[in-house]
Homo-oligomer: A and B are copies of this chain.
Amino acid sequence: MNSDLTTLFYPNSIAVVGVSSDPRKLSSIFFTNLIDAGYKGGLYPVNPKYDNLFGYQCYKSVSSIPNEVDQVAILIPSQFVLDVVKDCAAKGVKSIMIISAGFGESGPEGEALEQEVVKVAKEAGIRILGPNIIGVVNTAFKLNSSWMQLFPKEGNISFLSQSGAFCTAILDISLRRNLGFYNFCSVGNKADINELDLINHWYKDEKAKVIGAYLEEIAHGYDLHKYLSITDPIKPIILLKPGRSEEAVKAIASHTGSLAGTSEIIDALVSQTNIVYTESSNELLDDLMSFSWSKQVKGNRVAVITNAGGPGIMATDAIVGNGLEMAQLSETTKEELKKILPAAASVHNPVDVLGDASADRYQQASDIVLKDENVDAVMFILTPQYITEIEDTAKTIIRLKRFSAKPLFAVFLGQKYVDIGIERLFDAHVPVFNEIEFAAKAISDLYGFHQMLNSRDLDTNSKIFNDFESLINKGIYNQEIEHHASKGDGVSVPDTLAFKMAKESGLDMPAQELCTNLDQAKLFAGAHFPVVVKIPNEFLAHKTEEKALKVNIKDEEELATAFSELHATLDKIGQSGKPLLVQEMIKAEQEFFIGSNRDGDSTVYNGGKSGFGHLIVYGQGGIYTEIFKDLTHTLVPASRTMFEAKLAKTKIDKILNGARGLEPLAKDKVIDALMAVQKLVALYPKIASLDINPLLVTQDRAVAVDIKIYLKQ
């Protein structure tokens, strides 16, 4: 990955191919945007039809420009783009933006053209942004190399969007909020430069403090997961990614021509990395604002200061509902509040300073509350009573923000009359919201990021990825797997081989033996009664109505009966004489489920084109796993701690811990099993999916009594 995107955001010179003098054309808007933003570098319109455009000398081609050209923006129809790119290669251009559409998103022909263009550019060491984009903005360089009508204010947020149109909506909102951006770009078809390139670039650029992204699909999931897990400095990445519904996934496919990651994968990615997930444009903006402007939220205890009781109660719901806590004010704080507040005021959190509160009363109450060591953050709520000093209260909060070490958030409920206060707060970079719930969500996201930062150990993560990658394709039985996989996609691994692979990975399996006759079975079963006898799956080529399983066989007599019945079944399905599997029977205390699905193909861990690799799904097992869906998801590789933390989100975790006075079950063995499954998919990345249902958990074991493995290249 050539990560040098400097000439994309800091070009010393720019050529724009296809500039027109027609004010209705995008190309003229594009060029005048560059002029209007005050760009100071060399600027070269390219169009053989003109000698001069907007006071600039116009060139026939990029190569005919006498000076060096860092960046070229191409705005001509797609069929002419390849020639221009070749010309750029000859000229020694550093980066190209293909603004035009008509490539990969338009069908196979466009896709082929896109690949050809990228090939030419790669050979010449040129990075390409696009095709099908709005362009790039860098406020710190007075660069508006885009056809966006809006130029954002300068700030510390860098933003990338897979939808060009959505950029304009985001900017329109940000202008009202006085929210500043550093870099801003759309990535379009991501033929070359993708979100990982940009994140890597912004990680290294000190001016980018907060990264925002609107993505419909993620290009190289595993690489992104790895990069975010092991790279310092860790910056917050605020992500808006639609596609939670099947219908939306379909719409994405028709919009971008690519497959969106499932919502389970995205959930796992978010919980394992520094990505902050948002579900709507307002939530995205709220988080960009809060991460850009707020001090760190180092604890989850929030105090509310409000001039209205009702909204104080709503804030309580919102704070608790977002996983935060209502701060328990100290006795000293309450005593001091009593001294300065009217008798009818509430000195408990939410602190109700009453409807007639002046700005000064807010100030006095805040001075006291902010000193309280039990308070990590303060949420101010204002409703516009007749006597409320809206603007002055805003100014008070602005001063408090400047002088307090604790993070402050404001909620001004209303619109027409409170707007003056909201505007003041925006201008002073105080996070302010028109809805209590939004403020609580933003505080919660800030706190979650702080927790993540503190718990994250990049060295450990590097080791986890190294260990995982060192196992890739190293399974003892890889030749056999290769053989089975060659039979086609979706083929299942024979039970006996699956058993050996599971053993190799460290899964606790029931003692078992493949028995060709009853005597052998008696010998094995003698040490293991009660046992289970089954016909191995490889002899059940087609689905059969016959019973292929006998359980709870307690003695030799029952064993003999089982053998004769299953032998009869074998005869019936034309598999006479095949051996039977005799297994130690595990007494179930609790049925657990572990499954895994691979995203991308089997080369995903060593340079494969795309995909996140294996997602491990686990939780309550049994026949109703799919109905109860008490499951959680983890992307590999993950640490024991991560598996355990995600398991804690399931209900079955409470049962493993010993609910209702029952003895705890072997949760550490469950985690062992998850680690073993992780090892298994590393040893055999050709595993497309696997199911362990059930993993039987007792007080001292977690035994995989049944494992099914399916392969795909």
Residue ranges of A at the interface with B (Cβ–Cβ < 8 Å): 26, 29, 101, 106, 147-150, 161-166, 168-169, 171-173, 175-177, 214, 216, 242-248, 251-252, 254-255, 279-282, 307-314, 316-321, 326, 344, 346, 348, 350, 352, 355, 383-386, 413-418, 434-437, 623-624, 626-630, 651, 654-655, 659-660
Can you show 10 pairs from A to B with CB atoms below 8 A apart?
A: A29-B386, A149-B417, A168-B383, A169-B308, A169-B311, A172-B415, A246-B320, A248-B320, A252-B313, A280-B314
Q: Given A279-B437, A654-B627, are A415 and B176 neighbors across the interface (CB < 8 Å)?
A: yes
Q: How far is the CA of A582 from the CA of B319 in the complex (A)?
A: 52
Taking CB atoms, residues of chain B closer than 8 Å to A314 are 242, 248, 280-281
Residue contact A168 to B414, C-beta cutoff 8 Å: yes
Beyond known contacts A165-B383, A175-B415: 18 more, CB 8 A cutoff: A29-B386, A148-B386, A150-B384, A165-B307, A168-B386, A169-B418, A172-B416, A172-B418, A173-B415, A214-B310, A242-B310, A245-B321, A248-B320, A251-B313, A251-B350, A255-B352, A279-B437, A628-B630
Taking CB atoms, residues of chain B closer than 8 Å to A149 are 384-386, 417
Residue of B nearest to A326 (CB): B247
Residue contact B244 to A172, C-beta cutoff 8 Å: no
Residue of B nearest to A148 (CB): B386
Taking CB atoms, residues of chain B closer than 8 Å to A252 are 313
Contact of A173 among B281, B414, B628 (CB under 8 A): B414
Q: How far is the CA of A307 from the CA of B243 in the complex (A)?
A: 19
Q: How far is the CA of A166 from the CA of B626 in the complex (A)?
A: 44
Residue contact B311 to A346, C-beta cutoff 8 Å: no
Residue contact B244 to A435, C-beta cutoff 8 Å: no
Q: Given A172-B416, A346-B255, A624-B655, are A248 and B165 neighbors across the interface (CB < 8 Å)?
A: no
Taking CB atoms, residues of chain B closer than 8 Å to A29 are 386
A648 to chain B, nearest CB (A): 13
Taking CB atoms, residues of chain B closer than 8 Å to A164 are 355
Residue of B nearest to A308 (CB): B165
Closest 6 pairs (CB-CB, A-B): A163-B310, A172-B414, A165-B308, A169-B413, A176-B415, A245-B320
Q: How far is the CA of A417 from the CA of B95 in the complex (A)?
A: 32
Residue contact B627 to A346, C-beta cutoff 8 Å: no
Contact of A248 among B150, B282, B313, B385 (CB under 8 A): B313
Q: How far is the CA of A355 from the CA of B99 in the complex (A)?
A: 14
Contact of A280 among B172, B247, B279, B435 (CB under 8 A): B435
Q: How far is the CA of A573 from the CA of B665 in the complex (A)?
A: 33
Q: How far is the CA of A435 from the CA of B170 in the complex (A)?
A: 12
Taking CB atoms, residues of chain B closer than 8 Å to A660 are 623-624, 626
Q: How far is the CA of A243 from the CA of B414 in the complex (A)?
A: 22
Copies of this chain, whole number: 2
Q: How far is the CA of A681 from the CA of B694 in the complex (A)?
A: 42
Q: How far is the CA of A175 from the CA of B418 in the complex (A)?
A: 12
Residue with the highest number of chain B CB atoms closer than 10 Å, among A165, A172, A346, A659: A165
Taking CB atoms, residues of chain B closer than 8 Å to A383 are 165-166, 168-169, 172
Contact of A659 among B161, B169, B624 (CB under 8 A): B624
Contact of A655 among B255, B309, B627, B659 (CB under 8 A): B627
Residue contact A165 to B416, C-beta cutoff 8 Å: no
Contact of A244 among B251, B321, B344, B417 (CB under 8 A): B321
Residue of B nearest to A320 (CB): B245
A278 to chain B, nearest CB (A): 11
A212 to chain B, nearest CB (A): 14
Residue contact B316 to A242, C-beta cutoff 8 Å: yes
A289 to chain B, nearest CB (A): 13
Residue of B nearest to A352 (CB): B255
Taking CB atoms, residues of chain B closer than 8 Å to A311 are 163, 165-166, 169, 281
Residue with the highest number of chain B CB atoms closer than 10 Å, among A26, A173, A317, A655: A317
Residue contact A177 to B282, C-beta cutoff 8 Å: no
A176 to chain B, nearest CB (A): 4
Taking CB atoms, residues of chain B closer than 8 Å to A626 are 660
Taking CB atoms, residues of chain B closer than 8 Å to A415 are 172-173, 175-177
Residue contact B310 to A166, C-beta cutoff 8 Å: yes
A131 to chain B, nearest CB (A): 13
Taking CB atoms, residues of chain B closer than 8 Å to A350 are 251
Taking CB atoms, residues of chain B closer than 8 Å to A310 are 161-163, 165-166, 214, 216, 242, 255
Taking CB atoms, residues of chain B closer than 8 Å to A316 are 242, 245, 247-248, 251
A437 to chain B, nearest CB (A): 5
A664 to chain B, nearest CB (A): 14
Q: How far is the CA of A416 from the CA of B628 in the complex (A)?
A: 46
Residue contact B435 to A281, C-beta cutoff 8 Å: yes
Residue with the highest number of chain B CB atoms closer than 10 Å, among A243, A326, A386, A434: A386
Contact of A166 among B308, B346, B417 (CB under 8 A): B308
Contact of A384 among B168, B281, B413, B434 (CB under 8 A): B168
A486 to chain B, nearest CB (A): 33
Residue of B nearest to A310 (CB): B163
Residue of B nearest to A250 (CB): B316
Taking CB atoms, residues of chain B closer than 8 Å to A386 are 26, 29, 147-149, 168
Residue with the highest number of chain B CB atoms closer than 10 Å, among A175, A279, A355, A659: A355
Taking CB atoms, residues of chain B closer than 8 Å to A175 are 415-417
Q: How far is the CA of A629 from the CA of B628 in the complex (A)?
A: 11
A130 to chain B, nearest CB (A): 15
A506 to chain B, nearest CB (A): 30
Contact of A309 among B165, B318, B414, B630 (CB under 8 A): B165
Residue of B nearest to A653 (CB): B627
Residue contact A317 to B243, C-beta cutoff 8 Å: yes
Residue with the highest number of chain B CB atoms closer than 10 Å, among A161, A281, A626, A660: A281
Taking CB atoms, residues of chain B closer than 8 Å to A147 are 386
Residue of B nearest to A186 (CB): B310
Taking CB atoms, residues of chain B closer than 8 Å to A624 are 651, 655, 659-660
Residue with the highest number of chain B CB atoms closer than 10 Å, among A149, A166, A169, A348: A169
Q: Given A308-B166, A317-B242, A383-B168, are A280 and B248 neighbors across the interface (CB < 8 Å)?
A: no
Residue of B nearest to A625 (CB): B660
Residue of B nearest to A385 (CB): B168
Q: How far is the CA of A666 from the CA of B344 in the complex (A)?
A: 58
Residue of B nearest to A260 (CB): B313
A353 to chain B, nearest CB (A): 11
Q: How far is the CA of A89 from the CA of B374 in the complex (A)?
A: 52
Taking CB atoms, residues of chain B closer than 8 Å to A282 are 434-435
Q: How far is the CA of A384 from the CA of B176 in the complex (A)?
A: 14
Residue of B nearest to A659 (CB): B627
